[in-house]
C-alpha cells in the first residue's frame, strides 16, 4: 500500500495571507488524518512564507499522538536566520519520521529539481549521518532519470529517494506522458535494486496519479499538497483525501 502524505503548506499560505490563525493548521491536519491519510508533510522555508518552525513543533506533537508519519522537507544547506534554526536543527527538535532533503534556493516559488548525486553526495553524507542520529529516515529529492549515485546514497545512510514528478505531470497534461513515466519507472527500479525505497511528489493530482502508481508498484509514499488543497476547495478536504486513497488502493 502506498502511503498518502498530505502537504499542508498551502493551508499555511492562506493563513499567513491574512494573519492570525485561520485556517487552522492543526484542524486541517486532523481532518486529513481522520479521512485516512498516513502522513503529514511540510516544507518550512527560511523566509517563513508558509509553514513556520512553530508549526513544525505543533505538527510533530500531533502526528506522534495520532500515530501517523511526519515528513519535514527542506534544504539542509540553507543558513540559519531569525525564526529559522536551520534544517538539521529543526529536524533535531521535531524528530519526524522522515526528513526529505531538497536542493531549493530561497528565491524559488517551489522545488523544481533534485540533487545531482554524483556531485552532491559528498556534501550530503555528513548531514545524512546527523539526521539519522536523530532517529529519522532520510530521503533525497532526485530527478527522474537519476541512476548514478543511488548505491552510494544507500551506503551513506539514505533510506529513500523522492522522484521529482513535475515533468511527468506536465507531460501528462499535454497528453504525452509515456517517456517521462518510463524515466520515473527506470529510476525507481534502479533505486529499488540499490536498496532504496521510492517516494514521489510534485504536481501529482487525481488525473495523473493512477497511471503513475501502476507504473511503479513499489511506490512507498506520495506527498501531495498543491493539487489536493486546490481540489479540496471544490470538493471538501476529507472527501478529497479519500479520493486519493481510493486511487492509491
Beta strand 3-7 with 160-164 is unpaired
Cell of 133: 542520529
Q: What is the mean pLDDT of residues 201-224?
A: 98
For residue 42, the cross-strand partners are 72
Catalytic residue numbers read 43, 73, 202
Cα-only R_g, the chain: 17
Instruction: Tell me: pLDDT of 204 over 70.
Output: yes
Instruction: Tell me: pLDDT of 7 over 70.
Output: yes
**Total number of domains constituting the chain:** 1
Average pLDDT, the chain: 96
Q: How far apart are CA 75 and CA 53, in angstroms?
A: 14
Instruction: Tell me: pLDDT of 212 over 70.
Output: yes
Boundaries of domain holding 11: 3-248
For residue 31, the cross-strand partners are none
Q: How far apart are CA 225 and CA 116, in angstroms?
A: 24
Q: Which CATH number is 107's domain given?
A: 3.20.20.70
Q: What is the mean pLDDT of residues 222-238?
A: 97
Residues 6+ apart with CB under 8 A from 131: 76, 88, 91, 99, 138
pTM of the model: 0.95
pLDDT at 177: 98
pLDDT at 109: 66
pLDDT at 108: 65
pLDDT tens column, 86-145: 999 999 999 999 999 999 877 766 777 889 999 999 999 999 999 999 999 999 999 999
pLDDT at 105: 72
Q: What is the mean pLDDT of residues 196-221?
A: 98
Q: How many CB atoms lie within 10 A of CB 3?
A: 18
Q: What is the mean pLDDT of residues 189-208?
A: 98
Instruction: Tell me: pLDDT of 248 over 70.
Output: yes
pLDDT tens column, 30-63: 999 999 999 999 999 999 989 999 999 999 999 9
Amino acid at each position: 500500500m502506498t502511503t498518502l502524505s498530505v502537504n499542508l503548506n498551502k493551508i499555511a499560505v492562506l493563513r499567513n495571507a491574512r494573519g492570525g490563525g485561520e485556517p487552522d493548521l492543526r484542524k486541517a491536519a486532523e481532518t486529513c488524518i481522520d479521512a485516512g491519510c498516513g502522513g503529514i508533510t511540510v516544507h518550512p522555508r527560511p523566509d517563513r512564507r508558509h509553514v513556520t518552525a512553530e508549526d513544525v513543533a505543533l505538527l510533530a506533537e500531533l502526528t506522534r499522538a495520532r500515530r501517523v508519519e511526519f515528513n519535514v522537507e527542506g534544504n539542509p544547506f540553507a543558513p540559519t536566520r531569525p525564526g529559522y534554526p536551520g534544517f538539521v536543527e529543526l529536524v533535531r527538535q521535531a524528530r519526524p519520521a522522515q526528513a526529505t532533503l531538497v536542493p531549493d534556493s530561497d528565491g524559488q516559488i517551489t522545488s523544481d529539481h533534485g540533487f545531482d548525486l554524483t556531485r552532491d553526495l559528498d556534501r550530503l553524507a555528513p548531514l545524512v549521518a546527523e539526521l539519522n542520529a536523530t532517529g529519522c529516515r532520510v530521503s533525497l529529492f532526485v530527478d527522474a532519470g537519476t541512476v548514478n549515485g543511488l548505491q552510494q546514497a544507500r551506503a551513506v545512510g539514505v533510506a529513500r529517494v523522492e522522484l521529482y514528478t513535475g515533468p511527468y505531470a506536465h507531460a501528462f497534461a499535454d497528453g504525452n506522458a509515456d517517456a517521462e513515466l518510463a524515466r520515473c519507472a527506470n529510476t525507481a527500479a534502479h533505486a529499488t535494486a540499490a536498496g532504496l525505497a521510492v517516494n514521489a511528489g510534485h504536481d501529482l493530482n487525481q488525473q495523473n496519479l493512477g497511471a503513475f502508481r501502476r507504473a511503479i508498484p513499489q511506490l512507498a509514499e506520495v506527498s501531495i499538497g498543491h493539487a489536493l488543497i486546490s481540489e479540496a476547495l471544490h470538493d471538501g478536504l476529507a472527501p478529497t483525501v479519500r479520493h486519493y486513497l481510493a486511487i492509491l488502493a
